[in-house]
């Protein structure tokens, strides 16, 4: 018998059909897996709902997740998630972990006198400038102390800027950031309280802040204040100015970095409002430099662009979500911050 003939021989024996499972059992297993996941992740889901914009969706989510989160904590089920996150080096406290990292040389913190800087009209229409106030040339034994603060975009900048500053060998840079935060929702994360804790710990001479992408939402009540109203603008400008005054209250100079253009047009319009209010607040607080990022990592005419040209090269500065900043974009923006520190604050950095 040839090989071809053997291959043509019909298969002997009964043909077995693949094993199947009743659809009701499949649905039951899926529901059980979903319930286990819900109880394990209840605290994180509840925090995510808390930070979401005020509205019907948030109200319904909190109403549904509240009892589940309570049961998860009382039954100690939530400890399983906490242990798993701890093993993976992650934080389960809300949407995104809280980052607090110090990089750079250490030295005895010198006494920083509290000074009152005189405010001058801006030379550049987009940058509030200070009178010449050069800081002492930092050294490895007496490093410049810089505090970097922000939300997820602030972390995009802060990670690159922290490495850039630490690479000079004369800067101790501390990064304090948390995703999905801002000035609108202190009930979720209170940045003024966090800053008041950071200042005595770091005793910074320079503070760099970038936040606000999560702020275009209603203020909680009662009474609530709707985003887009004059009352909201007034309250947000007031909160931004208060935060700036606190940052400079111990004599530190503050560099506030504006938000870049967003790909989504509706979000971009809201971000422009945030930028304007932050810049107006900066103009009223002595010791604050406002650095717009639009002309640094934005496209022509202040539009969104995933790429910018620097040194004859196209650099990818924005992530695919059209919101966040790539490490390369963070490096470009970091260079602009360092240049501002040299030019406006007189800080000598390599």
Residues 72 and 143 in one domain: no
User: Is 181 within a domain?
Assistant: yes
Give the CA-trace dihedral at 270, 272, 274, 277, to 10 degrees.
Answer: -130
Exposed / middle / buried, residue 134 (Cβ in 10 Å: 0-12, 13-18, 19+): exposed
Contact yes or no for 134/345 (Cβ under 8 A): yes
CA angle 257, 165, 288 (to 5 degrees): 30
Residues 128 and 75 in one domain: no
Residues 109 and 207 in one domain: yes
User: Is 9 within a domain?
Assistant: no
CATH number at residue 178: 3.40.50.1110
Residues 80 and 105 in one domain: no
Q: Which of 59, 87, 115 is the last residue of a domain?
A: 87
Number of separate domains in the chain: 2
pLDDT averaged per 10 residues, the chain (length 350): 50 62 80 74 58 55 67 60 51 56 72 41 43 68 96 97 96 96 94 97 97 96 90 98 98 98 97 98 98 96 95 95 97 97 92
Residues 106 and 83 in one domain: no
User: Is 232 within a domain?
Assistant: yes
Report pLDDT for 281: 98
Range of the domain at 294: 98-345
User: Is 169 within a domain?
Assistant: yes
CA angle 276, 278, 280 (to 5 degrees): 70
Residues 175 and 247 in one domain: yes
264 sits in the region (left: phi over 0; alpha: psi -120 to 50; else beta) called beta
Exposed / middle / buried, residue 193 (Cβ in 10 Å: 0-12, 13-18, 19+): exposed
Residues 81 and 180 in one domain: no
Residues 182 and 38 in one domain: no
Residues 203 and 73 in one domain: no
Report pLDDT for 27: 80
Q: Taking the CA atoms of the chain, what radius of gyration do you get in angstroms?
A: 26
Six-digit token string for 54? 């005020």
Report pLDDT for 16: 65
Residues 284 and 150 in one domain: yes
Report pLDDT for 115: 41
**What is the C-alpha separation between 350 and 115, in angstroms, rounded?**
26
């Amino acid at each position: 018998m040839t090989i071809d003939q053997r291959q043509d021989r019909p298969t002997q024996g009964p043909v077995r059909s693949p094993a199947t499972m009743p659809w009701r059992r499949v649905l039951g297993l899926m529901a059980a897996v979903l319930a286990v996941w819900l109880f394990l992740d209840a605290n994180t889901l509840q925090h995510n709902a808390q930070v979401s914009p005020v509205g019907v969706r948030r109200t319904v989510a909190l109403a549904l997740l509240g009892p589940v989160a309570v049961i998860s904590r009382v039954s100690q089920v939530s400890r399983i998630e906490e242990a798993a996150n701890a093993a993976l080096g992650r934080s389960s406290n809300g949407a995104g972990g809280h980052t607090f990292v110090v990089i750079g040389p250490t030295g005895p913190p010198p006494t920083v006198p509290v000074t009152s800087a005189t405010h001058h009209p801006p030379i550049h229409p987009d940058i509030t400038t200070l009178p010449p106030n050069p800081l002492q040339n930092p050294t490895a034994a007496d490093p410049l102390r810089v505090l970097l603060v922000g939300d997820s975009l602030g972390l995009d900048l802060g990670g690159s800027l922290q490495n850039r500053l630490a690479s000079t060998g004369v800067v101790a840079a501390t990064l304090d950031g948390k995703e999905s935060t801002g000035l609108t929702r202190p009930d979720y994360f209170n940045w003024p309280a966090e800053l008041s804790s950071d200042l005595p710990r770091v005793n910074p001479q320079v503070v760099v802040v970038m936040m606000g992408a999560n702020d275009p939402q209603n203020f909680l009540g009662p009474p609530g204040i709707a985003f887009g109203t004059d009352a909201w603008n007034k309250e947000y400008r007031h909160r931004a100015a208060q935060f700036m005054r606190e940052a400079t209250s111990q004599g530190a100079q503050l560099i506030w970095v504006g938000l870049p253009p967003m790909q989504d047009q509706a979000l971009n319009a809201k971000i422009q409002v945030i930028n304007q209010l932050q810049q107006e607040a900066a103009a009223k607080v002595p010791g604050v430099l406002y650095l717009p990022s639009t002309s640094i990592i934005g496209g022509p005419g202040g539009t969104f662009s995933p790429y910018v040209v620097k040194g004859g090269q196209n650099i990818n500065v924005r992530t695919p979500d059209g919101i966040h900043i790539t490490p390369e974009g963070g490096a470009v923006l970091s260079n602009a911050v360092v240049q501002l520190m040299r030019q406006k604050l007189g800080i000598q950095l390599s």
